[in-house]
Amino acid sequence: MSRARFIAAARYRRPMYGSNHPLAIPRVSLAQDLIAAYEALSAEEFVAARKAGDSELQWFHTPDYVSAFKRAEALGRVAPQARARHALGTLENPYFSGFFTTPATAAGASIQAAEMVLEGYVAFNPAGGMHHAQPDRARGFCFFNDPVLGILRLKQAGWRVLYVDIDAHHGDGVEQAFLHDADVFTLSLHMDTAYAYPHGGGRFEDSAPQAGYTSLNLPLPRGTTDAEYRLLWNEVFPRVLDRFRPDAVVLLGGADAIAFDPLGKLALTTQGWLSLCADVLAGAPRHADGTARLLVTGGGGYHPLVVARAWTGLWGLISGRQLPAELPSAGAAALRGSGWDLDEDAAHFAQFFASRLDAAPRPAPPRPQVVRLAQAVAGHPYLRHA
Ligand SMILES: [Zn+2]
């Protein structure tokens, strides 16, 4: 009997984020279709997402912020005051039909996922992972900070939580929420903000667990490869796990760290990215029956084919299935039906419809700047004696 749960909603098939936005693409629905093509999701494993209640959203968000969504949804647009104050209805965080209900459902699903983890499951909320959202303001395409809400739900049970963010972008909203909370450790590996969103913070020098902070940031150079990411990951992940000894792990599985992502500037392969997820799954603390105490969310990811393949593989891992690399024909058809044609001429495009994994890149030695960062990590006071 599977102890894994996949939480989603039919409303994720509706158009979102308008027409000219990086998130106006099928993501959860396409991943779900690909998973279905593999026959890798049982009725027992699927859970319908529930909308978060106002009081739950207000564990982190201000009442005014929550009200602004409800008013906008009722009105069919965002009023100018709400746009100015909460950054809602902007180009970055645009209005769309279901403006409150859809993000509130994705947020509710992370609370649900936390409750399932408390009950003995490993849970995946692919619509979650909105790690930039702030208490009173939308930010970076993120409306409700569902990772924060999920962590808060686990904390209500007295659990200590390790948050691991492998999205291409710094998990700044989650870091800020728990920066001085001794019961939550946030670890984020991300594009250096010197060249990438959110254009500030997330530096290794900002990491200071020894000063009462419980966060660690590893900024990555453009074009970071599997081997380079691995070098840093192997220094940091096992040591943080060993030092912090959480009761549960929350993994933010943004797929924009994989090569071909139109916004991400890293160069991981899908299998390299999945190997990180596998490490988190293997390292997470355990329920009595051996099930991982692990809550997984989606996150960024702006190439629908890459996202669908990555999250299918991630679900395969956490549900204990060995998925073949070759795509089932129904899966290839679902990907072709997504209408994604921005890079049809690229040499790599055909592989997306043949395999859920990428051709491995030619191995190259890690660049000196990555080696230096790995050495700094190894010498970090919090990690040194682990
Ligand atoms: Zn991202």
pLDDT of residue 208: 64
Model confidence at 344, pLDDT cuts 50, 70, 90, reads low
pLDDT of residue 129: 98
pLDDT of residue 21: 86
Q: What is the pLDDT of residues 35-63, one digit of tens each?
A: 999 999 999 999 999 999 999 999 999 99
pLDDT of residue 41: 98
Q: What are phi and psi of 249, to 5 degrees?
A: -120, 140
Model confidence at 210, pLDDT cuts 50, 70, 90, reads low
User: What mean pLDDT do residues 252-257 have?
Assistant: 98
Q: How far is the CA of 1 from the centre of ligand 1 (A)?
A: 34
132 included as an active-site residue: yes
- Please name the amino acid found at residue 352: F
Q: What is the pLDDT of residues 311-322, one digit of tens each?
A: 999 999 999 999
Cα 276 to the center of its chain, rounded Å: 13
User: What mean pLDDT do residues 77-93 have?
Assistant: 95
User: What mean pLDDT do residues 341-349 have?
Assistant: 71
Q: How far is the CA of 328 from the centre of ligand 1 (A)?
A: 28
3-state helix, strand, coil in the chain (%, to 5): 40, 15, 45
Q: How far is the CA of 93 from the centre of ligand 1 (A)?
A: 14
pLDDT of residue 385: 63
Name residues whose C-beta falls within 8 Å of residue 67's C-beta, 6 or more positions apart in sequence. none
Q: State both tokens at 28.
A: 């959860």
- Fold assignment, 4-47+109-333+347-384: Arginase; Chain A (3.40.800)
Q: How far is the CA of 256 from the centre of ligand 1 (A)?
A: 6
3 state SS of 273: helix
Model confidence at 386, pLDDT cuts 50, 70, 90, reads low
61, 132, 169, 303: which is the annotated catalytic residue? 132
Q: pLDDT at residue 20 above 60?
A: yes
Model confidence at 228, pLDDT cuts 50, 70, 90, reads very high
